[in-house]
Amino acid sequence: MIRNSKSAVSNTPVRFYKAHAFTVSVIACLFLAACASTPPPTQQITAAEVSISHAEQAQVADYASPELSSAREKLTAARAAVAKEDMKAAKRLAEQATLEADLATAKLSAAKAKTVNDEMLKSTSEIKQEMQRNPGVK
C-alpha cells in the first residue's frame, strides 16, 4: 500500500505539469489568434473608389471640389495604411473617403435642385407679372 501511495504522489506532479502545459498552450493559441493581423479592408476601399468614380462622372468638382479632393486624399491615405499594415486606420480612412465622396455628390444634387427651384420661382414670378398686366384676358 505504501508503494501505491508513492506512485500516486509521484504521478501527481506529472499530471499537474501536463495539465498546466496544455492550459498554457491553449492560452498561447488564443493570444496568437487575437493578435493575428486584420485582413485588408478591400471592401471599404472598393466602395470608396466607386463613390469617387460616381462623383467624378457626375462632375461634382464644379460644386463640391473640397469634398472630392478630401475623398481622394483619404483614399490615398487608406492605401498607404494598407501598405504599412495598419488595417484599422485603412478601414477608417476608406470609410471616410466614401462619406466625403457621397457628401460631394449630395452637394451636387442640392445645387442642381436649387437651380431648378430658382428657375421655377422665376417662371412663376413672370407668369404672375403677365397676369397682372392683362387681368381681363381669358
Q: Are residues 26 and 80 in the same domain?
A: no
Nearest to residue 55, comparing CAs of 41, 75, 40?
75
Tens-place pLDDT, residues 60-96: 877 788 999 999 999 999 999 999 999 999 999 999 9
| Domain assignment of residue 138, yes or no | no
Tens-place pLDDT, residues 91-131: 999 999 999 999 999 999 998 999 999 999 999 998 888 88
- Residues 82, 84: Cα–Cα separation, whole Å: 5
The total number of structural domains that make up the chain:
2
| Domain assignment of residue 93, yes or no | yes
Q: Are 105 and 55 in contact (CB under 8 A)?
A: yes
Mean pLDDT of 38-62: 91
Q: Are residues 76 and 21 in the same domain?
A: no
CATH of the domain at 118: 1.20.1270
The whole domain housing 44 covers: 39-127
